[in-house]
Every structure is written in C-alpha cells, then in structure tokens.
Structure 1
Amino acid sequence: MLKQTILGAAFAGLALVTTASAHDTGDKVTPNFEQAIPNIPGKTLTALVVDYAPGAASAPHVHSKTGFVYAYVIEGSIESKVNDGAAHVYKAGESWSEPPGATHSISRNASQTKPARLLAVFVADTGDKDLTRYLK
C-alpha cells in the first residue's frame, strides 16, 4: 500500500515536468524513477528520460534551485550549454553535471539524422516538483 502511494505521488509530480515539456520543439520527457533518499532526509532522487528526434531541442530552461543534476547520454549525441560554460557535444556513454539553479541555454540532439536519448537524474528537496522551468 505504501509503495503504491509513493509511486502514485511520484508519477503525479513527474507529470508536471512531463507536461511542461509539451511546448518544446521536439523533446519527449518520460518519468523513469523517483525515490526519497533514506539516508539523506529531505532529499529525493528523480530520474527522467529525455528523447530527442533528429535535430530536436529542448527550450532554454532553468533547473530547480534545490536540484543537483547528473546527465548521461544513453544514445546518440547531445549538445549542451550550462550557465556560462562553453557548448559541448556529449556522445553515448558520456556524462556531465549541473549545479542547483543552473541555466540550460542549449540542450539538443547534435545529429540531424539520428535520434538521441538522455537520462537526467535530479537530487532535490523532497516536494520540489518544479525541477525545470522553461524560459520565455
């Protein structure tokens, strides 16, 4: 029963993140996992899979001020630019991290012909469901 309650709450919260990406230009965000971290009270680990069609991109966005982000390229190649850092293309098997409150001005499939897939893992305050806020 507790497991069902936790999973229901997790997917309800992740639906907000998934819905927010509906205005993007070609990415698809799918909830993968969410779990309170038992040995770090007040923190939750949330994992999302981001699929990019060839040439697709996420809208520029800012991540939660409570959330540390780890990104891992599962398939293809992703171009990313975080804060004032240089844009970089990461290939399958490569990863990077983003500090809390990071501005992600570029996040896109580096290929015009092949799909790309990214696993984004957030460690944020429990109850912080605004993990990504899109810039206008």
Structure 2
Amino acid sequence: MPAFSKIALFCTVFGLTLAGAPAGYAHELETVKPVFQSAIPNIPGKNLVAVVVNYPPGGKSPPHRHAKSAFIYAYVLTGAIRSVVGTEPAKVYQAGESFHEEPGAHHRVSENASETQPASLLAVFIVDAEDQPLTVPDSNSDTR
C-alpha cells in the first residue's frame, strides 16, 4: 500500500479518537489500530477495512455512526464489550463472540464492560471506497 494511502487510512480511522472526548467525559477513550485495507476485487467500488479497537479498563467510545455504506462485523478479541446499536437493548459480548452493524446504524454505546480489565475487538468494514470518514461521533456525544 502506498505511503499516502496508509496515512489517509490512519487519519480516517483515528478521526473519532482525534476528535477528543466530549465535555464531562469521565473515562478514557479507546485506541484504534488499522490492520488491513484492500479493494475487494470481485465487488467493484468496495473496500475491506479492518481495525483493532482497544479499550482500557472503563474505556468507551462516544456515541457515533459509521460511513453510510459501511456494513460492520465486530469480533471481541479480549475481555467484554458492552454495545447498544440502534434501538436494540444493551448487550455484553465476551471474548469469542461477535455482532454486526447494518449500514447507517447508530452505535449509541460501545464500551469496555469492565472497570478493571482491558478489552479489545476486531472491526471489519465492507464499505464504498469513497465513503469517508469511517467513523463520525454524534454532534451531541454527551448523551449517555
């Protein structure tokens, strides 16, 4: 992958983290590490992007949405992740469990379910190649 593409991917994926925590945000934010990006050769105009999201104890993401075309598969690697997508009830996913997000879904809660142990997940995006950024925090993120 050319250096420019790596820099663009890094900036896109870290957009949520670089946006900073909302006022009054008591917990640390997650860190996001890009691990893979490639065009999908048999689906013109689509990319496959994978990131690892690491949550410190008590860490969380502000409420957010993803790129409008993004279908997301999330697999919990370590610990336990509490998630609320759309109007679904809160659910805690343990290491080895997975969930998905439909395009346009509102990810209202994404957080480490533990105050003492770290947690991580692998998020795999199938997304239109031009659909950027991958993650956009809510304009009013301090609503939990």
Q: Calculate the TM-score normalised by the size of structure 2.
A: 0.86
Alpha-carbon shift at residue 98 of structure 1 (Å) = 0.4
- Long gaps (5+) in structure 1: none
Match of 1:28 in 2: 31
* % same residue: 47
Residue deviations 1:33-66 (CA, integer Å, cap 9, x gap): 1000001101000001100000110000011110
Match of 1:124 in 2: 127
In 2, are the aligned partners of 1:82 and 1:104 still within 8 Å (CA)? yes
**Rounded Cα–Cα distance in structure 2 between residues aligned with 1:49 and 1:113:** 20
Determine which structure has the larger helix proportion and give its number: 1
Alpha-carbon shift at residue 12 of structure 1 (Å) = 1.6
Determine which structure has the larger strand proportion and give its number: 1
Say how many residue pairs are matched.
Answer: 132
- Deviating more after overlay: 89-98 vs 17-26: 17-26
In 1, are the aligned partners of 2:80 and 2:119 still within 8 Å (CA)? yes
**Rounded Cα–Cα distance in structure 1 between residues aligned with 2:66 and 2:116:** 28
- Long gaps (5+) in structure 2: 22-27
**Rounded Cα–Cα distance in structure 1 between residues aligned with 2:101 and 2:112:** 18
**Rounded Cα–Cα distance in structure 2 between residues aligned with 1:118 and 1:110:** 12
Root-mean-square deviation (CA, aligned residues, Å) is: 1.3
Corresponding position: 1:62 with 2:58: no
Match of 1:110 in 2: 113
In 2, are the aligned partners of 1:13 and 1:129 still within 8 Å (CA)? no
Runs of 4 or more above 6 Å deviation? none
**Rounded Cα–Cα distance in structure 2 between residues aligned with 1:19 and 1:68:** 18
Alpha-carbon shift at residue 101 of structure 1 (Å) = 0.7
